Structure 1
Amino acid sequence: MTKIYPNAASSSSSPSPLSSSDDCKIGGDDPVVLTVWKKSLLLNCEGFTVFDPRGNLVYRVDNYMAAAKGHIFLMDASGATLLTIRRKKLSLGDTWLIFDGETAENPRYTVRKNVSLLNSRCLAHVFQKKSVPIYLIEGSYARRCCSVYDEKRRRVAEIKQKEASVTGVAFGKDVFRLEVQPGFDAAVAMGMVILLDQMYGSGRFI
């Protein structure tokens, strides 16, 4: 059987290679390729489990369905909250806020689902304290084929289907790759994955 998380059992005893301040320092100038599994490692939870190229647990999302109160926490391997994602209340369209840690003030980013039919490839716009978006997310989340572009149209992160190392074995849509370019915060990239799943996924946590 092809393993999704080869070192998950030992990840709790070894330090996580990524943190909210690392900004994708794995591999120096090379992109970081993470494996995202749309599954919580805890029972009775909805969420995500994310592993680095060595199979170490780096991020997790564990949302108890009965306890969800309009927010999602992105945690590191030890359970410390890196980002808090909240739906913006009383807003037009599907708008979300990304906060650092467990704060609920001064959001780091505002993410709006695209509702315009003029650019059907656009999935969402990401803002940071100004009316012009600093990131644009395009592609198809259903096919796990999305890219995040910055203001200069440089790809900073990409969602791709994951291919199994064993010929003839395929992962489903719940297991995919997140490729993050150097200089872009891997935690923020994972936060965008969470929001795409809320906006376009088959099921929502909250």
Structure 2
Amino acid sequence: MGSEVSVRAIISKEFCSKSEVILNVRKRPNAINGGGLIVRNCSQEVAFRVDGCGTLGLKNQLIVKDASDNSLLLIRKQGGVVQALSFYNKWKGYSEDYEGTQKPVFSIREAVLCFSKRCPIRIYMEGKHCTRDWDFEIQGSFSDRDCVIKDHNGTIVAQVGVTEDIVKTMLRKDVYYVVVQPGFDQAFVLGVIAVLDNMFDGATRC
């Protein structure tokens, strides 16, 4: 018998699989529902959607939805005086409970004074999932669709890449895959991907 898969549910156990999951991400044209991302599973069924400001009409705000169009995560970029005085660009992700109350789940910080596209971007969890330091780190270049999300122990939990037939075409930034490791929360990973897409002038950004 194989070892039991450890489930790391952040949004919901519903989005944690006992086996590796490959999600195909495609840019949604601005002419269709205001742009954003559409995410399909290996059966080519819609698994998630990401709406950006083209749909929402609000700059620096993103929503991750499931296949039934239910909102899973609301993500906002910090602004105002606090952001202007900060050394980081900071995003915060919120989930909603059954009463509609928003609960902070994670924050993502990108160093403002970073002159390399491969500078680490770190993720800090809220509540019961948090540690004393950063919890996850993006290593590599999302701009090139070649990066990984690692936890604090250095374990890869998700990887972003491009298939060989796409890598040399102009579509490499519009069509790519995300491999999520067994037991890890796919909805959370898509929340991170949504922020990275916005950071690097993707389909969610106006």
Q: Common fold, TM-score beyond 0.5?
A: yes
Report the alpha carbon displacement of residue 203 of structure 1 after superposing the two structures with TM.
6.2
Cα 1:128–1:56 change in 2 (3 A) is: same
How far apart are 1:73 and its partner, in Å? 0.8
Q: Which amino acid aligns with 1:148?
A: I
Q: 2 CA distance for matches of 1:135 and 1:38?
A: 25
Residue pair 1:60, 1:77 contacting (<8 A) in 2 also: yes
- Compute the TM-score of the two structures, normalised by the length of structure 1: 0.76
- For 1:66 and 1:76, the matched residues in 2 are separated by 16
CA distance in 1, matches of 2:157, 2:57: 30
For the residues of structure 1 that align with 2:163 and 2:65, how far apart are their CA atoms? 23
Aligned to 1:81: 71
Structure 1: runs of 5 or more not aligned: 1-18
Shift of 1:201: 2.8
Q: Once the 2 structures are TM-superposed, how far is the Cα of residue 151 of structure 1 from its aligned partner?
A: 1.0
Q: 1:164 to 1:95 in 2, by over 3 A?
A: same
Is the contact made by 2:75 and 2:93 (CA closer than 8 Å) also made in structure 1? Answer: yes
Identify the structure with bigger relative contact order (alpha carbons < 8 Å, sequence gap 6+): 2
What residue in structure 2 maps to residue 33 of structure 1? 22
Corresponding residue of 1:109:
106
Aligned partner of 2:32 among 37, 40, 43: 43
Q: 1:49 to 1:204 in 2, by over 3 A?
A: closer
1:182 paired with 2:177, answer: no
Change (3 A) 1:40 1:49: farther
State the shift of 1:101 in Å: 3.4
Match of 1:124 in 2: 121
* Counterpart contact for 2:117–2:141, Cα < 8 Å: no
Q: Residues 148-163 of structure 1: matches in 2 within 5 Å? A: 148-163=149-164
Q: Distance in 1 between matches of 2:115 and 2:170?
A: 35
Q: Judge conservation of contact 2:48–2:66 (CA < 8 Å) in 1.
A: yes
- Distance in 1, matches of 2:117 and 2:170, equals 29
Structure 1 residues 64 and 136, CA gap change in structure 2 (3 angstroms): closer
* Cross-structure match for 2:4: none
Q: Which has the higher helix share?
A: 2
Q: Give the C-alpha shift of residue 139 in structure 1.
A: 0.6
Residue of structure 2 in register with 1:72 after alignment: 62
Residue number in structure 2 paired with 1:56: 45
Letter in 1 for 2:96: G
CA RMSD, Structure 1 to Structure 2 (Å): 3.0
Normalised by the length of structure 2, the TM-score is 0.76
Change (3 A) 1:66 1:47: closer
For the structure 1 residues 40 and 118, does the alpha-carbon distance in structure 2 shift closer, same or farther, using more than 3 Å as the test?
closer
Aligned to 1:192: 192
Distance 1:104 1:136, change over 3 A: farther
